[in-house]
Amino acid sequence: MSVLFSLQIFGGPTPKLLEEEKDGVIILEGKYQHRNIYIAQALGSEGIGFCAYEIRVNGNLITDEINSSAFEIDLAPFNFEIGQDIVIEIKHKMGCAPKVLNPGGLKPQPTFETVDITIDESQILQWITENESGSLPFVIQQYKWNKWIDVGEVQGDGTPEISNYAFHVDFTSGKNKFRVVQVDQSGKIKTSDFVEIESSKPELTFIYTRSKQEVVFSDETGYEIHDKYGDLMIKGFGSVVDVSALAKDSYWLSFDNTTDSFDKK
């Protein structure tokens, strides 16, 4: 004969939650860039043990030593390919949070190599790359007005294999020079070789019409207007620029492949 007992406690303290019910998790997602992840952490809020207690990489529990104020998540043993998807879960105690020292460690870097870059009279810039380690935009730049100007953008494939790209550009008169660049989150820049072509387009001219307070070009063009201190006031593309909002003064006008000046009166 057996007897079952049921014990109920009324009016007592609320049961303490299990540790996992109170804990938090930091999730890092990205692609393998041949870099490890570095973590700094403090002791738990109760002063016992460190903040992080479990690390998983793509669901796999790592066995690295994490019971210290700083540690490294070593990704080399997983034999990831460059650009392979990675998810890192850092489980930590509530009331504290580890700090990821290199949060961009899983973000793409500009590693592309230019196999070829060409431009022709049809105004199509074409380039071939290899060894991309993640999808970053290619920024197309044109050299004019003594500086490189961004004129377009194409998203990169982000793979190490051969990739082909093309973009329609607008020529200025005379010599035209183009290149492509990639920039990562830290500001690191990688550039391609540049390519040049001589255009048959005629040189453009402009007039300033005081009555209409307009700058009128002989054809459509990209333009920038700077004040005498070099501050950019207006930029755009077209054949007419409304300058009524500008104060009466002298200005530098960059258009086509040249820079000139005009006085607003």
Domain ranges of the chain: 19-106, 113-199, 206-264
d(CA 98, CA 41): 5
- Angle at CA 14, nearest 5°, toward 8 and 19? 115
What's the gap between Cα 126 and its chain centre?
22
- Read off the amino acid at residue 145: W
Q: Is 112 helix (H, G, I), strand (E, B) or coil?
A: coil
Q: Summarize the confidence of residues 85-106 as an average pLDDT.
A: 90
17-38 pLDDT, tens digit per residue, is: 233 445 799 999 988 888 899 9
**pLDDT band with cut points at 50, 70 and 90 for residue 104:** confident
What percent of the chain has pLDDT above 90? Answer: 71
pLDDT over 70, % of the chain? 90
Q: Which fold has domain 113-199?
A: Immunoglobulin-like (2.60.40)
* pTM listed for this prediction: 0.73
Q: Who wins on pLDDT, 81 or 219?
A: 219
Residue 5 has pLDDT above 70, yes or no: no
Cβ neighbours, 10 Å, residue 34: 14
pLDDT at 16: 33
pLDDT at 52 over 60: yes
- The whole-number pLDDT of residue 122 equals 95
Residues 6+ apart with CB under 8 A from 252: 225, 226, 227, 228, 230, 259, 260, 261
Closest among 224, 219, 216, 215 to 255, alpha carbons compared: 224
Helix (H) or strand (E) holding 19: helix 19-22
Mind listing the pLDDT tens digit for each residue in 155-212? 999 888 999 999 999 999 999 999 999 998 778 899 999 999 999 999 999 999 999 9
pLDDT score for 65: 86
What is the model's pLDDT at position 22? 53
Structure tokens, 46: 């109760």
Task: State the pLDDT at residue 7.
Answer: 29
Average pLDDT over residues 235-255: 96
φ and ψ at 200, to 5 degrees? -90, 0
3-class secondary structure, 125: strand
| DSSP structure class, residue 135 | -
Q: Share the mean pLDDT of the chain.
A: 88
Can you name the residues that pair with 191 across neighbouring β-strands?
A: 181
What was the pLDDT predicted at 141?
Answer: 98
